[in-house]
Amino acid sequence: LLGMCDVGACQMYPGDTLDGVAVGSSSGGSSTGGNRVETAPIAVDPPTDPLVYSPGMSYEDVSIPDGKVGVKSACNYLDDGLQYVLPYGTFDEESAPLLPVMCSQGNTILDASLSFERYSQYFTSLYMYDVGIAGPTLDDFSTWRQWYLPLESSDDFLYGVADDCATQCVTDGLKQDHTYYMTGNFYLCAWITKGDCDMDAETYECYVCARNGGRSTSVYPGVCSHVAASADFQVHDDHFQCTGNNDNMKPSIGLQHQFCVCYNPTNAGLHASYVMDEATYSAQVSVLQQELSASEAAEAASQAQAINDGSDNVVYLSNADFLYGTYRITEPGIYILTEDIVINFNAPSDAQRAADDFSPNSYDALYWLPHTDGTQDEHYMGASTWNGPYQLGFFTGVTVETSNVVIDLNGFEIGMSDEFYLQQRFFSIFELAAKNFVAGQGPVDFGPYLNAATNVIIKNGVIGKATHHGVHANDASAVTLENLQIHSFDVAGIQLNGFKDIAIRDCDIGPSSSNIPVTGRYLHARTLLRRFAHLVDSYGDEAFAFYGRESRTVREYVDELVTQMDMVYFHVIDGVEYDDTDEQWMKAKDLFINPNENGYGDGGVVYGILLNSRGGAVMGFGNAPSQSTNAVIENVAIHDLAISPLEKLKFKTNPLGGATRGPVADVFDIMKVADQWDDISTANYVGTAYSDVQIAMSQFEKSWFVLDHTCFDEGIVSWAIDGLNFDVNGYYGGCNTDIQLHINKGVIGLRIDNIVGFQVSNVQIYNLLNTGVLGTETDVCGAYTQGNAHQDPLITAGYTGTEGYGVTITQSTDGVLANVNINNLETHYGFATGVALFKQSSVEFTENIVVDNINAGTKMDVSYLRPLQDYLPNKIPMACSVFDNNYGTHFELTGTITASNVRGYLLCDADTAMIGDCDDETCSASHDSDFFDALKQQQLKQALKEQQQQRKEKTFTVYGSFSHSLLQIPIYLVLPFTALALISIYMCYLWSHSYTQIGAGDEKHKLKQNLSEYTPLLN
């Protein structure tokens, strides 16, 4: 239980905004970058007063004739324990059935775990968001009072919450109107601490956390399924409010006999008992009791230890098992490959390809996606609906949704075909769960069932081409990965989140993909084809025009995008070459084709292995409070990883809105769609085929199931459609993000985040490369240490997309590193570190830790740095062998750490930051800190000199104008005016001379203030 809201003024983040340019401001850019103003109006303490109502004896119920039964509408006059009621005071087997409730001291406790189907008849809608959480559907905006239908007609109810769903019902002593609400992330609305301090998935314990990388003194609730709030707490029904920094909450009720809501009608609000035949009542009770018994048996079975070890279920797999979709393992067993598997789900037939009008990206045919005609719905939830793990496409080759599974690759390889690799841009070969996101995370509603795997072995073979991961898992336990070669992945060879007891042994991981044909924008376009189809089907004939262009229909905008996507497909897969005079091709090439000549990914990070606490790792290092436990990595090689991140900006014109984005958090690429970016305030919209459709969807689509995360404020839309520049609307921004609004991190061999108990031994990490260019320098972001709200600048500051690490350890304890060799790590412009020990971590370095050939900033030039901005956001490239950032860290050195050939513009401080020895001859910095201090002072003096020169030029202009005016004065007035002018000049000299002496220090301070670091934050 987290806290409560004042029903009159429960605004969670009224000050959660950015300093920037207000409407009508003469300035075109953000002068301070956005210092977050924080408030914490939600009380952290839960309600504790018992809900007590004494009905007295004045209430008269109906009389009960012989042979009849009176069924109460609530627990007011019933004994404690399980009871059956009719809340409406009436009975209908379908629409008003007997309802099982728990009674406690006259209070009625609603426990939907008892019978989800029966409870659904008493709510405006009831949808399962997670196995333990239910609430109104996405497009149901009821308050709790409105949601529970028997309460809607009367205010004569007292409300409370019952965490155990059986005994004490508690509330606030004064108002007595508390119910439970879920935070917005569960239903695709914004929640500002998402990813920072999420609810514990097992205990459902909720947390609070500070913003500004943990530096703030104010705290906010984290993601939580049961925030106590008034029964009348208003639910936002405007989609823009949903996706902005608002108090987004929706009524909730627990589904695992915890976090229930209770109520007690006064006599005025209590429905009379319903009188029914005793035989009818007995028959209904018998049916209900059978349902309850079956439910109890199912609950017991789900909690029981699996008996089937799978040894008697041997399954041989061939390409025939991978023709039409993901191979789902739902039964224990031993699964053995019999040949190399090339994945190309639901590909078009030869006849379809041969057709003259063949469109590989047709939003009608939807090739390579689950069938939307309903034929695959039973096997692939979400295939034709807007909820379920497959609504965006096939996300994996194989799921493991049960326990006791052995997958023996038997020496064979499994990976994506070339065209499926292009057409399905988020895909893992193995997913150790039924879906790829935990509840409350991800771009869409992936459904309630995670079904995480337990006791799984994957061994003996090759895991090949994948657009995201070789192996990915959430909440898996007892996982062994052994004797595997994992290569040609875009994001990570292995990513395990929220695990218990995993072992990775005798594995070779790398190289990462080096022939990625397209940017992340092609992923978005493919992912959204179903939503584009809905937009065209519903609003295709609607017409509108962008500023300076002719009007077109929605269908025409979408068709142009598909045409460009098809050109990319034919170019990449069939080798079609288009003429550079072809306007559509040049637009498609600029929008979709990967600009990196080596084919490295444009995303924010690539990993060999990522071990993380629960949920995604797309925010900053060590964000979430949960922990994974017990990891062993031994005899593993991680090598040949390369990345070339491209920074994107978060942007908006409404300070209370969210970052401008599409349905799957696909960022509105403000720099690409503007005609220029030198002067943001006067930039004009030129757009791309993709951004045109993003805006069309934001303006015409009405379904919340289709809009998902879409967020376009009026200022952005008026800029594109009406030509209203940002000097009118103002603007706000954030940075250090990629095209998916994830924080850029660079190349990382092994990342260990929030792990308790880890052993890394006999591990080689080599040939890591980050060619990413410098972060964007614009008035939107300026100089910053914390460019993203989820970035902790005390861990990594400024722009971080240029960095490279062999190993990072963050908020992880009880660790051991032994016999680890890190060799040949290079960044073109950023930090390069062999091992980084970050925030609140403890590790023992035993045996031999060898670090060699670490090179930071090999393409950097001093002229690229910004001394007057304290070398921010792009930092001086620093190299380090083993780095301790002294942020609550602890280490023991019982073995040896030796380093050589560590080179950068600077080296980390040997006395305070570097752990172990680094060879004096080969560990070298091209410059020292004194050089950069002197460079800063030199440029500061030059800037002051230029300011003074500009002031003098203005003074001479004034004097010259004055002298010219004298020539126009009649001769008899010249002498008096000349004398007056001489006196004035002399006085001005005295004033300016004294100002220079007295105010010189202030002027320098003022200049420093104008150029100093600031922190833009935008969610």
- The pLDDT confidence band at residue 863, using thresholds 50, 70 and 90, is very high
- Residue 326 scores a pLDDT above 50: yes
- The pLDDT confidence band at residue 53, using thresholds 50, 70 and 90, is low
- Residue 11 scores a pLDDT above 70: no
In this prediction, residue 949 carries a pLDDT of 83
The pLDDT of 831-837, averaged and rounded, is: 98
For residue range 534-592, list pLDDT tens digits in order. 999 999 999 999 999 999 999 999 999 999 999 999 999 999 999 999 999 999 999 99
What is the distance between the alpha carbons of residues 877 and 858, in angstroms, rounded to a whole number? 9
Q: What is the DSSP letter of 518?
A: B
Q: How many percent of the chain have pLDDT more than 90? A: 68
Q: Are strands 170-171 and 49-50 parallel, antiparallel or unpaired?
A: antiparallel
- Residue 91 scores a pLDDT above 90: yes
- The pLDDT confidence band at residue 56, using thresholds 50, 70 and 90, is low
The pLDDT of 9-22, averaged and rounded, is: 27
The pLDDT of 150-179, averaged and rounded, is: 81
Which of 122-126, 195-199, 211-215, 722-726 is least confident? 211-215
The pLDDT of 301-307, averaged and rounded, is: 73
Q: In what order do the strands lie in the sheet with 81-85?
A: 49-50, 170-171, 157-162, 260-265, 107-110, 99-104, 81-85
For 260, 448, 742, the CA distances from 128, given in Å and listed in that order, are 14, 6, 28
- Residue 972 scores a pLDDT above 70: no
What is the distance between the alpha carbons of residues 432 and 185, in angstroms, rounded to a whole number? 23
Pair of tokens at residue 325: 């979709």
- The pLDDT confidence band at residue 47, using thresholds 50, 70 and 90, is low
For residue range 632-668, list pLDDT tens digits in order. 999 999 999 999 999 999 999 998 888 999 999 999 9
- The pLDDT confidence band at residue 40, using thresholds 50, 70 and 90, is very low
Which of 62-76, 710-724, 914-928, 996-1010 is least confident? 996-1010
**Secondary structure of 221-233 as H, E, C letters:** ECCCCCEEEECCC
Amino acid residing at 242 = C
For residue range 935-945, list pLDDT tens digits in order. 999 999 998 88
In this prediction, residue 218 carries a pLDDT of 67
* Residues with Cβ within 8 Å of residue 995, at least 6 apart in sequence: none
What is the distance between the alpha carbons of residues 764 and 766, in angstroms, rounded to a whole number? 6
Helix, strand, or coil (residue 789): coil
The pLDDT of 33-62, averaged and rounded, is: 50
In this prediction, residue 174 carries a pLDDT of 67
- The pLDDT confidence band at residue 216, using thresholds 50, 70 and 90, is low
DSSP 352-372: HHHSTT--TT-TTT-TTS--S
For residue range 518-530, list pLDDT tens digits in order. 999 999 999 999 9
Query: Across the chain, what does the average pLDDT equal?
Result: 86
For 204, 296, 300, 801, the CA distances from 448, given in Å and listed in that order, are 15, 20, 19, 34
